[in-house]
Amino acid sequence: MLEREIALEALGFLCNATVTSVQQQNLTGQLNPDDVGGAQLLTIVDEKRVHVSLENLSEDEKTGKLRIHLTVDEEKLFEPRFDYDFSHLKDTETPYMRGGEEYKRPCGWYRFGLKVEGKYGDDTWLGTGNSRTGSCPGEWPVSYHGTSAAGADGIIKEYYKAGDQQVYGRGVYSTPDVSVAEGFLKTFTSKNGKTYKVILQNRINPQYRKKHCNDLFWLIPIPKGTPEAEEKMMVERAVRPYGLLLQERQASQPVPRAAGFKAASPEQLLIKQLICTVLDADETSQVSRSNFHCIKQALQSDDLVGGFHRQDVVDTPNGRNHIIDESEFFAPEYDYDFSRLRDTETYWRGGEKYERPSGWYRFGLKVLNKYDGNDWLGTRYRSTQSCPGEWPVSYHGTSKKGAEGIIEGYYKPGPRELYGRGIYSTPHISEAIPYAKSFISQKDGKRYKVILQNRINPAYRQKYNNDKYWLIPISQGTSAAEEQDIVGKAIRPYGLLLKQI
């Protein structure tokens, strides 16, 4: 079990502050009336005791930034009854529900309960009891909030502060999936010498929430220009933290951080954002080059898989870097070496001929349970036949000359394609090859081509040129959010193909 002092360190780290416990000061005799309070805490701290003065500020020795000295009353901040050790738990097939929606428990984490009962009027939003799988009437669903400034803005100055430049609009972002929140988290080193990751567990008022990216992100919209006092009131009505999650980071773990909005921010490459982070159609753009290098260098590390390298952290030409959590990105059980295969019979996927990528090596991507069910993938351990509900296979070359590339979370449509605006791919690997990009590995000095293997929803697809090209039409003027929604429903990558040339 983690010690409470580590939770206080985590709070200080989140707020860029030095946090001192009232109880600890009482024990050491260091507390005087002027010290009570501190500054800028979470909403759950008694605001009558919060003040800021010059005495509360100091300069951080490492960063040179001003740090605030905060004094917290542990008895008013923490609720030990709701501490819970999820660190050794694995969720079973029985789903947990909160607020009528699936609750993805923070397995692998330790939760410090926050004292929120009675802080917002009634407690219906919290539900009742801990050990249950069902929802309670009036309960709010659970979300997670990574605390990196590079991602959604953290909890500072008493509330979730809205960000100005978020992808779906200004507001407060969180996610129902703790693994996604890991892409936006911070880490800190405790006095005990160990490094911890920290995430906030919240309840979200569904009346104020908007869902984006196939339910991957939840947004509480806050219009630009909203006064700070009104922002605070809106946030308190809509998002309420009730748990502080900590997890020790092992020395071998990469620090997972996700896409921010500054050029130098590290970005985590996630499966559901893969169609957003490979390439733009314009090869001359910085984004296109950096995203191409992201995929290229993601496979260049000291660990060999199928003759290819993988790497956790990658620097890109424009100064950005990307971080991959391999355990959440790759699915080694679906790796397959097609390099020496030659098809001797006809294979079918989604009721259509499947031209296997003979001559290529496939890295399987972890897509199971990433979308609404897995029927679109079919089932394993079958040879030539299709499965009911399965989608057919297509290939996507990653060059400007071919189908539009992947950027900002989805396949971005091009404005001037031959058969109309939209996303192009092909069921023939031989057709995709001329549009594939190549790169020279920094590890072995060899040159490789790269292609994405996808599944296409036939309900959204149009066929052209004797079935040579498949188009997912996207009309000119479609908003970015609508585009992304269409793409998530229509085209899903499940394999990364490499071939030495």
Per-residue pLDDT of the chain (501 residues; tens, 9 = 90+): 466 666 666 656 555 556 666 555 544 333 232 222 222 222 222 222 233 333 333 344 444 444 455 666 778 888 899 999 999 888 777 889 999 999 999 999 999 998 889 888 889 999 987 678 889 999 999 999 876 433 323 332 233 445 544 556 778 888 898 988 887 777 888 888 888 888 889 999 999 999 887 788 888 888 888 887 888 888 889 989 899 899 988 754 444 433 332 333 334 444 444 433 332 322 332 322 333 333 334 333 333 333 333 333 333 333 334 455 667 777 888 889 998 888 888 999 999 999 999 999 888 888 888 888 899 998 876 678 888 999 999 998 764 333 333 322 234 444 434 567 777 788 999 888 877 777 777 666 777 888 889 999 999 999 988 888 888 888 877 877 787 788 788 988 898 888 888
H or E element in which residue 172 lies: strand 171-174
- Cα 140 from chain centroid (whole Å): 22
Distances (CA, A) of 393 to 46, 350, 471: 57, 8, 13
pLDDT of 99 reads: 95
pLDDT of 335 reads: 87
| Distance in angstroms between the alpha carbons of the first and the last residue of the chain | 53
- Cα 83 from chain centroid (whole Å): 25
Query: How many angstroms separate the CA atoms of 454 and 367, rounded?
Result: 11
Instruction: Work out whether strand 347-349 and strand 352-354 pair parallel, antiparallel, or are unpaired.
Output: antiparallel
Under 8 Å between Cβ of 479 and 465: no
Q: Which of 242, 171, 258, 165 is nearest to 209 (CA)?
A: 171
Q: Give helix then strand counts, H and E, for the chain.
A: 9, 34
Under 8 Å between Cβ of 47 and 76: no
pLDDT of 11 reads: 59
E-state strands within 118-163: 142-146, 155-156, 159-160
pLDDT of 59 reads: 40
Total residue count of the chain as it appears in this document: 501
Q: Quick one: DSSP state of residue 398? A: -
Query: How many angstroms separate the CA atoms of 318 and 205, rounded?
Result: 39
Under 8 Å between Cβ of 269 and 324: yes
pLDDT of 158 reads: 30
Which residues are bridge partners to 450 per DSSP?
437, 498
Distances (CA, A) of 222 to 148, 163, 236, 273, 467: 19, 9, 12, 24, 46
User: φ and ψ at 35, to 5 degrees?
Assistant: -85, -20
pLDDT of 8 reads: 62
pLDDT of 297 reads: 40
Q: Which of 128, 343, 147 is nearest to 241 (CA)?
A: 147
Phi-psi region of 32 (alpha: psi -120 to 50; beta: other; left: phi over 0): beta
Query: How many angstroms separate the CA atoms of 138 and 128, rounded?
Result: 11
Instruction: Enumerate residues 6+ apart whose C-beta is below 8 A from 54.
Output: none
Half-sphere exposure of 417 (CA within 13 A, CB side): 26
pLDDT of 170 reads: 79
Both tokens assigned to 472: 């997912």
Under 8 Å between Cβ of 214 and 272: yes
pLDDT of 256 reads: 42
Which residue stretches of 35-97 are H helix? Answer: 74-77
Buried b (16+ CB within 10 A) or exposed e, 91-111: eeeeeebbbebebbbbebbbb
pLDDT of 13 reads: 56
CB atoms near residue 18 (< 10 Å): 16
Amino acid in position 482: E
CB atoms near residue 124 (< 10 Å): 13
Both tokens assigned to 467: 């079935």
CA-CA-CA-CA torsion for 274, 276, 279, 285, nearest 10 degrees? -140
